[in-house]
Structure 1
Amino acid sequence: MTNAGDTTAGELRSGKGHKDENFPVASKIIHPRHRALILAFYNFVRTADDVADHALLNDQTKLEQLDILEAELLGKGDSQPEAVTLREALAERGLSPRHAQDVLTAFRMDVTKKRYDTWDDVIHYCSYSAMPVGRFMLDVHGEDRATWVASDALCAALQINNHLQDCGKDYRDLDRVYVPLDALAEAGASVEMLGADRASPQLLQCLQALARRTELLLGESRALSTEVKDTRLGLEISVIDMFADKIVNLLKVRDPLSERVHLSKQQMLGYALSAMACGLFRRVTGQASTVRHVSGGA
């Protein structure tokens, strides 16, 4: 068993990087002056996430590692490169570490909380795990905080998409269930059904109902890409929005325990080009993003 003092958090990384995510991270759409800071934030968050999910660390050690990351983010030490790099990048831009600290709260919840009773409980988790990421991006670009409302909805939808995509793996590997227990009960499903190779009719009913509810969240975020002032950021949001739509459409009709509910790299490239073209057209013409991408396939 690894102890917190034996290694740095970065040495516990899973190997997953920013190019492996379901959404663009500091892509070439974003202005180059912002990319280093965004990647510093991503590397800090990814490191903390991998600590919380690490198979060989006990819960106490995970929490100690997360505490060390936060302490060094706030200037109390220099042993964690990811924390130091983000601290210096934030200081250079005069930005607060608050959003990174909020995400650490979510990872502590991952260690200590394995079940969520209601949809509202899951949204509360998203308010720490996902919403701060969007708020950070908006702050980096100097956007008005009025944009936080739509951003929060988009980020929560992205997070819940991910929960539904990985519901079987999260249960089997981590005994972690983000599917609300009341939603399972209402459909006549159980937590244990998440461990099967194929979803039962009851579980599939529950998961697809949650996907439809997530689609409503995406509807609440539809104006974000045109609300932001920064054109590059707006185009990036258009891409993320389209990816989220395509994934939620898969989740509405497929079984995440037995069928593919992720986008391929080729699909992501094609959708990104389409989203940027549509996003640019909306910005040039002043049209709000009011039409959702409703195709049911990938």
Structure 2
Amino acid sequence: MTTAGELRSGKGHKDENFPVASWIIHPRHRALILAFYNFVRTGDDVADHASLAPQDKLDKLDLLEAELLGKGDSQPEAVALRAAFAERAMSPKHAQDLLNAFRLDVTKLRYENWDELIHYCSLSAMPVGRFMLDVHGEDRSTWAASDAICAALQINNHLQDCGKDYLDLDRVYIPRDALAAAGATVEMLGEGHAPPALLKCLQDLARRTEALLNKGRSLPAQVKDTRLGLEIAVIDAFADRIVNLLKVRDPLSERVHLSKQQMLGVALSAMARALYQRATGQTPVVRHVSGA
């Protein structure tokens, strides 16, 4: 039997748009975070697999969940995460939420409105931030700001990859009502350049996403663990740069990702700023977002 891991795309934690278990995080947490990442990446790749039938995808996701919960030992990623959770006496709920997001990826190809999209983010993105906070023993009062940042990261990714998602998977996260309000259609996502109506829709959504980032602006200072605070500050800075690109560029024809060199520069600047804010008690600046 083919394991879920054998269906992996080849993408690893160093290929993401944000740091995963980077050197910033204390070494004692990295093994657990990487086990979580490998499990989640496996499930995501199963859901996105180009040739696997929908029911086969759902069966693989069900098997990953069953083995995460202790029912079998054929899926290495599930077995490894189960052991890592047991060592920390942690619940598998955040991983299970992500599996539910991947099931939606298989069964739901269109989103009607912003609320539906945020519900998807509550399964696909928010559990990642909550997991990281739980790993570090942070108070659950930090979850609201984390949820906002994680949702923004997810929607940034949807906007960056909107053309590819449509052409490769017939999957559209751009809400139907946002397309209609701008006079755009789903089919425009398959063009080489975004027509003006579609570009307006995408840039309006980018501004809404920037407003989400502002809701989470306080999180790096809220968390007690300095290393985690720095990691969050870096992720937030990456998201800021990307949303600023999405507000002015066409993701169908222009680059809306950061290069490795850009990521390094942004990371160093974000860490320096976060350390200064922690030392001085300075409040992070929340920018006004017009039209959000």
Q: TM-score range by the shorter chain?
A: over 0.9
* Structure 1: gaps of 5 or more residues: 1-5
Matches within 5 A, 1:89-104: 89-104=84-99
**2:261 and 2:288 mapped to 1: Cα distance?**
18
User: Contact 2:213 / 2:240 at 8 angstroms: preserved in 1?
Assistant: yes
Matched letter for residue 19 of structure 2: P
Matched letter for residue 149 of structure 1: A
Matches within 5 A, 1:188-227: 188-227=183-222
Q: How far apart are residue 291 of structure 1 and its match?
A: 4.5
User: Contact 1:242 / 1:275 at 8 angstroms: preserved in 2?
Assistant: yes
**2:70 and 2:94 mapped to 1: Cα distance?**
16
TM-score between the two structures when normalised by the length of structure 2 = 0.98
Note the aligned Cα RMSD (angstroms). Answer: 1.0
Decide whether aligned partners of structure 1 residues 241 and 293 sit closer, same or farther in structure 2, where only a CA change above 3 A counts.
farther
Q: Which residue of the partner structure matches residue 36 of structure 1?
A: 31
Number of aligned pairs?
A: 289
User: Contact 1:242 / 1:293 at 8 angstroms: preserved in 2?
Assistant: no
Matched letter for residue 286 of structure 1: G
Q: Which residue of the partner structure matches residue 176 of structure 1?
A: 171
Matched letter for residue 7 of structure 1: T
**1:289 and 1:254 mapped to 2: Cα distance?**
27
**1:142 and 1:102 mapped to 2: Cα distance?**
20
SS in 2 for 1:204: helix
User: Contact 2:184 / 2:201 at 8 angstroms: preserved in 1?
Assistant: yes
Deviation sequence 1:6-36 (CA, Å, 0-9, x none): 3000000000000000000000000000000
Matched letter for residue 220 of structure 1: K
**2:130 and 2:288 mapped to 1: Cα distance?**
24
**2:202 and 2:51 mapped to 1: Cα distance?**
30
Q: Structure 1 vs Structure 2: percent identity of aligned residues?
A: 79
Q: How far apart are residue 288 of structure 1 and its match?
A: 2.1
**1:71 and 1:103 mapped to 2: Cα distance?**
14
User: Contact 1:245 / 1:292 at 8 angstroms: preserved in 2?
Assistant: no
Q: Which residue of the partner structure matches residue 166 of structure 1?
A: 161
Residue in structure 2 matching 1:115, options 104, 110, 113: 110
Q: Which residue of the partner structure matches residue 232 of structure 1?
A: 227
Deviation sequence 1:253-279 (CA, Å, 0-9, x none): 000000000000000000000000001
Matches within 5 A, 1:1-298: 6-291=1-286
Structure 1 runs (4+) deviating above 4 angstroms are 291-294
Q: How far apart are residue 293 of structure 1 and its match?
A: 11
Q: Which moved more, 1:284-293 or 1:258-267?
A: 284-293
Deviation sequence 1:213-243 (CA, Å, 0-9, x none): 0000000000000000000000000000000
* Structure 2: gaps of 5 or more residues: none
